[in-house]
Structure 1
Amino acid sequence: MDTPSTAGQHLRQLRRHAKLSQLDLALITGVSQRHLSCLETGRAKPSPRTLHKLLTALEAPLERLLARLPIPSSTELPDAMPPLVLTRIRSTRGELSFLSTFTTFGMPQDITLTSLRIEHLIPADAPTWQVMRAAYADYAALVL
């Protein structure tokens, strides 16, 4: 498996390169060994949180994983794109710029609809990326 073609195969290759067994990685990340197996074989897809935990433990940035995946054959955009809003936030480290969008999950209950709405903030420029990376490094040093 020299050139993995799926994210799961890439995760397996990264884990093996780190000389970790599935059990080792499971213990480090808190993700079950069975789920790791399902991710590596393509029977399951990782949540963003799980993917973040795995890549952090393997010391592999997301960009490295994405760069190795094959380019999709179709580059057509969907009919309805989610609205993006430029959001600027003043902080102690200067003005931060983000692209903001929402994901809404709904569940029917009786006649009403209960929903969960999540806002995604995506750094919109290089200085914001640098501030966010530095903030994550500070946070990780405290927590990890």
Structure 2
Amino acid sequence: MNSQPFPRAVPSDSAGTQLRLIRRQAGLSQLDLALISGISQRHLSCIETGRATPGTGTLHNLLMALQAPLEQCNNVFLAAGYAPRYQATPLASPSMQAIHEAIQHVLHANNPAPAIVLDSQWQVLAANASTQVLFDLVGLTPDSAQGLNLLVTLLQPGGLGDHLINACEIRRVAWQRAAREALDNRELAHLLKQLPAPAMPEVLSDELPPLVMTRVNSQQGELNFLSTFTTFGMPQDVTVNALRIEHLIPADPHTWHTMRRAYEQASQ
């Protein structure tokens, strides 16, 4: 890739300013980042204050040490006067065949528990058969989860959120997570502005469970799920970096039995 400087586009903040912000958001001191990246603290300080111009190799090293999202990395490269380093390859591209097959394998292996693939705007790109089974159990009507936006169906009336026993809790968690992600995602920030913000609690419970469960009101009674995420390790493409697979793991024997029986019936 051509690493020669070219006229600066966006963003307006300098590369050093952005690096300092990313470092602080990561909770690292200059000394911490210097130790992780192998760059001297003095040189790092000069980069952050604009007294030194980093090369592409130094920028890459610092951003990887900070585990910054690749879209954010591209912004830093642009601000430094370099071409964006990371491409956003369409998921349907032949070069993404291995990624596509890995996703399908994970989705299928998760049956009879639901699993969905989300992009950086919370759009559902793919889902396994058990996701439709769960929709049928709660009485949702979409022919397929693919094409839905998870944030929209959780927050807007008439969506999945209306079928959750702890809807207020799940909506708050989803809103807060999306709001954090929207700090560096203009499309997601625009979507959030169009959605109703959930009410915040006046009083918190003194007893907290190990994690927040998704509690669903279904035709077979209450179904409880634990939520986990799968992401790709060491991504070098914006599309791959944004992908995440959410797994809803049944949290009790009744939920396991209900999902397994419904999945087997749907598969016949």
Q: So what's the TM-score if we normalise by structure 1?
A: 0.46
Larger relative helix fraction: 2
Give the structure with the higher percent strand. Answer: 1
Normalised TM-score (structure 2): 0.26
Higher Rg of the two aligned structures: 2
Structure with more relative contact order (C-alpha pairs < 8 Å, separation 6 or more): 2
